[in-house]
Amino acid sequence: MLTQSKIKEELKPVFKQLRTPTIMHCYEEEANRARSESWTYEAYLHQVLSLESETRTTNRIVGLLKASRLPLEKTLDTFDLNRLPLKLRQQVKVLTDGSFLDRRENVLAFGNPGSGKTHLVCAIGHELINQGRKVLFKSCNMLVQELLIAKRDLLLKKFLKRLSAYDVLIIDDLGYVQQSREEMEVLFTLLAQRYERGSIMLTSNLPFSKWEQIFKDPMTTAAAIDRLVHHSLILEMNLKSYRLEAAKKQKTQE
Ligand code: ADP
Ligand code: MG
């Protein structure tokens, strides 16, 4: 029979090979517990494998969150859902189950500044990450600049491929900054490339009727809207500005 010290010595490289660091750290302690509590062999195996699996899930979510660039504080916990009309609340509930990503559907959030568009799409993003989905958050402006740089360096295809690894791309504030034709062209390329291949969540202060300001010519505007809308859910967020309301509340309290 193998001695305890022999087992320990031989297991170490096996844990490394199998990449099970959690079991490596906990198996002795859990074995002591198992002996003192008279677990079955199966119960012991279940315990150490569950610990490994739980740690992996947590680590994966931490990694996804870091890669997503989502603002950490904009979660559902910090979002007051009661400010939303019932229909919107129901839509949010549906979105947080994540199945729209499997259908490659888009989410388009419209509304005046301060209505909570950015916070809400980020909060949904956090929920999706908790389910193990890959999310990337970018302001539209930043995304366009990165696309342009990639194009200049003849790396556009590669950059688009990298973006296609995400289940959902959150593009925040389309149309907030007036962009040049060249800037809009790369954005259009991205929308076209992602069409029916991956979801986009987009926020904008501008309704479709004003998108010609963004995409410059009517044809590109129509084509962009068409691709985004084809499989999509629209969140109408024409609510009073949260900031304004919070400021007013504070004033009346003073
Ligand atoms: P928008 O993107 O529509 O301009 P934001 O999402 O940036 O609006 O919201 C403006 C500010 O108000 C942010 O600080 C946000 O966290 C807060 N806010 C908006 N709506 C809510 C809400 N329902 N609950 C809590 N905070 C909110
Ligand atoms: Mg915003």
Cα 52 to chain centroid, rounded: 25
- Work out the end-to-end distance of the chain between its first and last CA atoms, rounded to an integer number of angstroms: 78
Residues in the 5 Å CB sphere of ion ligand 2: 118
* Same domain for 193 and 229: yes
Q: Which ligand is nearest to the CA of 111?
A: 1
From 67, 92, 116, give the residue that closes a domain. Answer: 67
Amino acid 21: pLDDT: 97
| 254 lies in some domain | no
Name the closest ligand to CA 78. Answer: 1
Distance CA 5, CA 90 (A): 59
For the stretch 171-212, pLDDT in tens is: 999 987 777 888 888 999 999 999 889 999 999 999 999 988
Whether 126 shows a pLDDT value over 90: the answer reads yes
80 in a structural domain: yes
Q: Residue 181: CB partners within 8 Å, gap ≥ 6? A: 216
- Residue 157 within a domain: yes
Residue 252 CB coordination number (10 Å) = 6
Q: Lowest mean pLDDT: which of 39-53, 56-70, 146-160, 221-235?
A: 221-235
Q: What is the reported pLDDT for 53?
A: 97
Cα(77) to ligand 1 centroid in Å equals 13
**Token pair recorded at residue 115:** 């209505």
78 confidence band (pLDDT: 50, 70, 90)? very high
Assess whether 62 and 86 both reside in one domain: no
Q: What's residue 189's pLDDT? A: 93
Ligand 1, pocket-test mutation among 81, 118, 239, 242, most atoms within 8 A of CB:
242
Residues 93 and 176 in one domain: yes
The residues lining ligand 1, judged by C-beta closer than 6 Å to any ligand atom, are 74, 79-80, 83, 111, 113-119, 203, 242-243
pLDDT at 192: 92
CA of 235 to the centre of ligand 1 (A): 14
Domain-terminating residue out of 51, 67, 83: 67
Same domain, 95 and 63: no
**Is residue 152 situated within a structural domain?**
yes
**Are residue 123 and residue 161 in the same domain, yes or no?**
yes
| Per-residue model confidence as pLDDT tens digits over 5-23 | 999 999 999 999 999 999 9
Same domain, 76 and 46: no
Does residue 31 lie within any of the structural domains? yes
CA–centroid distance, residue 80 to ligand 1 (Å):
9
pLDDT at residue 191, as a whole number:
93
- Average pLDDT along the chain: 94
Q: Check residue 164 and give its pLDDT.
A: 96
Q: 132 and 11 in one domain?
A: no
- Same-domain pairing of 192 and 235: yes
Q: Are residue 155 and residue 44 in the same domain, yes or no?
A: no
Q: Do 31 and 156 share a domain, yes or no?
A: no
Over pLDDT 90: what percentage of the chain? 80
Q: What spacing in Å lies between the alpha carbon of 243 and ligand 1's midpoint?
A: 7
Average pLDDT over residues 112-132: 97
**Ligand 1 atom with least separation from CA of 203:** 2
How many structural domains is the chain composed of? 2
The residue out of 43, 67, 91 marking a domain boundary is 67
- pLDDT the model gives residue 183: 87
Closest Cα to residue 224, out of 249, 254, 189? 189
| pLDDT computed for residue 66 by the predictor | 98
pLDDT above 80 for 73: yes
Q: Which ligand is nearest to the CA of 241?
A: 1
pLDDT digits (tens, 9 = 90+) for 89-109: 999 999 999 999 999 999 999
User: What is the CATH classification number for the domain harbouring 215?
Assistant: 3.40.50.300
Residue 44 shares a structural domain with residue 111? no
> Which ligand 1 atom is the nearest neighbour of the CA of 113?
4
Residue 75 Cα to ligand 2 middle (Å) = 14
- Nearest protein Cα to ligand 1, atom 26: 79
228 within a domain of the structure (yes/no): yes
Nearest CA to ligand 1 atom 16: 119
Helix axes 156-163, 140-152, angle to 10 degrees: 140
- Domain of residue 37: give its range: 4-67
- For ligand 2, the distance from its centroid to the CA atom of residue 243, given in whole angstroms, is 12
The rounded Å distance from CA 118 to ligand 1 centre is 7
Regarding whether 97 and 203 lie in a shared domain, the answer is: yes
Section 47-65 average pLDDT: 97
Asked if the model's pLDDT at residue 128 lies above 90, the reply is yes
Residue nearest to ligand 1 atom 10, measured at CA: 114
Atom of ligand 1 nearest to the CA of 82: 23
Query: Mean pLDDT lowest for which of 81-90, 194-203, 244-253?
Result: 244-253
Distance of CA 146 to the CA centre of its chain: 19
